[in-house]
Structure 1
Amino acid sequence: MTRTPPPPYTPRPLLIDDLLDGLLEQPLVRTGTPAAFDVAAALRRLSTDAATAPARPGDNDLDRATKATARLNAVCRAAITTPAAALHIERISDSPPTPPDKNSPHPEAPPDVEGLFIYGCLLHLADHPESAKFWWQIAAGSEHGVAAHCLHLHHLTLGEIRDAAHWAHQLTEADKDAVHRLLTAPLIPATPTSGLEMAIERIAETGDDDVIVGQPDRALAHHLRQLTHP
């Protein structure tokens, strides 16, 4: 009886969540790490290992989406507990982002891009995924790498591999390091407080758009400050 030979192994495409899985299992920053430690070289080694390693039995679409959901939640929970999170939300509540006018002799000042990213994280945790994607896209368009990573994970959770790969390709080594630092931050709450959720729902109900939750306000910044400065 002649056995059919197995098909040749084709390396699966590297996605940024594969790289960060390796980073979390083998953190780059440890007590006693020499100052000359080459972070970029370590990232390249992890990238190569992930690209050439055989696919694991659990590497299917559902498993990938589940991991992406957990990672996205972790990133968002870490982002909203940074010490300056409330200040960033306050800034974009006072100065909403406006599309740039190339013909204007006095262009608008750039928005607080970090605030746009954090607001997207708040909306994601409050179960407004389309609104979160909208605000992350504005932040990513201003070269906010962690917002681009959130978009990558968002599309992975929906099984939208092409869109996920697009955002993964936008990331630099510095962006990947920023995601790693955020994920290894010591304070990550389980969920937003009820006050935050109520503030977001109030904004959603009073806005003009039936789909996208609009600009935050100072009340939301106040509730977020209570979370980050108990």
Structure 2
Amino acid sequence: MRLHQPRTLDDVLARARINGDYTPGHRAASRRRITDQLLELRWINALTVSAGTPSGPAPDMLLHEQAEEELRAVSQGVIHQDDAARCIARFETARDPGGALAFTCLLMLADREEGAQFWHQYAASGGQAIGAVCLYLMHVRRGEWRDARYWAKQVEALEDELCQYALVSTPGSGGVEVRLALPVAAAVVPEDAVREALEDLDVDQVDGLGTILQPSAELARQLNDLVTADR
């Protein structure tokens, strides 16, 4: 049997036409999806282009590597704050977002991500802008662009909160662009020592989230010893 070959552009378009009901609502939804995808691509491109700026990492560093490096630098900066150990020590009774932030930065340095995202969200919801920054970096590192863009917007919303490292949020393509001016020579606590300090933490089961590690007064004492020895 000989197949019919389209002879004109109209023939091609006629064969490509979608059968069935296709309402203006469908067209509007398609436009929104395409617009969102284009904005996301522009946002990713803006991130990639800015990765080689003079104040940033080397141009040949991949975006997820840059995010990993910045996340660890931010985490080191947080645990070296003067009140980090005190915030963790009183967290059991006060549930201070600052204590949650310091604790989850320890988890990140020890590569213990179970519960880390939960505590970062807890800190960010309590007004800690650095918590939102860490979530932004976590999602960039994983290539989860929509989640990263969401937390970039939260950083912008919290930019009036006290935030070290001269955090700057400026309008970018399809959202906001997050830039960090990290300390050039920050003190560093050895990550092996952080892992050792976290070995005996208690855990709680949280519905829908599984096992969540909990900070303790003993951990606060160990953090204080580590930071003091590092100075």
TM range (shorter): 0.5 to 0.7
Residues in 1 aligned to 2:199 and 2:85: alpha-carbon distance in whole angstroms:
18
Say whether residues 1:65 and 2:64 are aligned partners. Answer: yes
Using a 3 Å threshold, how does the CA distance of structure 1 residues 134 and 20 change in structure 2: closer, same or farther?
farther
Partner of 1:104: none
Task: Give yes or no for contact 1:200–1:220 (8 Å, CA) kept in 2.
Answer: yes
Query: Which aligned runs of 4 or more in structure 1 are off by greater than 4 angstroms?
Result: 14-22
Residues in 1 aligned to 2:147 and 2:62: alpha-carbon distance in whole angstroms:
18
Using a 3 Å threshold, how does the CA distance of structure 1 residues 19 and 178 change in structure 2: closer, same or farther?
farther
SS at match of 1:180: coil
Residues in 1 aligned to 2:51 and 2:220: alpha-carbon distance in whole angstroms:
30
Say whether residues 1:197 and 2:195 are aligned partners. Answer: yes
Structure 1 residue 185 displacement after superposition = 7.2
Structure 1 residue 63 displacement after superposition = 1.2
Count of paired positions: 170
Say whether residues 1:126 and 2:110 are aligned partners. Answer: yes
Structure 1 residue 198 displacement after superposition = 2.6
Structure 1 residue 144 displacement after superposition = 1.1
Larger Rg: 2
Structure 1 residue 143 displacement after superposition = 1.9
User: Residues 1-230 of structure 1 correspond to what in structure 2 (within 5 A)?
Assistant: 12-13=42-43, 25=55, 63-92=62-91, 94-95=92-93, 111-172=95-156, 173-174=159-160, 178-180=164-166, 183-184=182-183, 186-189=185-188, 191-192=190-191, 194=193, 196-203=194-201, 206-209=202-205, 211-230=210-229
Using a 3 Å threshold, how does the CA distance of structure 1 residues 186 and 82 change in structure 2: closer, same or farther?
farther
Residues in 2 aligned to 1:138 and 1:191: alpha-carbon distance in whole angstroms:
26
Using a 3 Å threshold, how does the CA distance of structure 1 residues 212 and 74 change in structure 2: closer, same or farther?
farther
More strand as a share of residues: 2
Structure 1 residue 214 displacement after superposition = 2.5
CA RMSD after TM alignment: 3.4
Residues in 2 aligned to 1:13 and 1:138: alpha-carbon distance in whole angstroms:
26
Amino acid at match of 1:159: G
SS at match of 1:183: coil
Task: Give yes or no for contact 2:124–2:131 (8 Å, CA) kept in 1.
Answer: yes
Residues in 1 aligned to 2:189 and 2:143: alpha-carbon distance in whole angstroms:
25
Residues in 2 aligned to 1:169 and 1:126: alpha-carbon distance in whole angstroms:
27
In the alignment, structure 1 segments of 5+ residues that lack a partner are 1-9, 27-56, 97-110
Structure 1 residue 78 displacement after superposition = 1.1
Structure 1 residue 217 displacement after superposition = 0.9
Using a 3 Å threshold, how does the CA distance of structure 1 residues 64 and 185 change in structure 2: closer, same or farther?
closer
Structure 1 residue 218 displacement after superposition = 1.1
Residues in 2 aligned to 1:193 and 1:128: alpha-carbon distance in whole angstroms:
12
Percent identity, please: 30
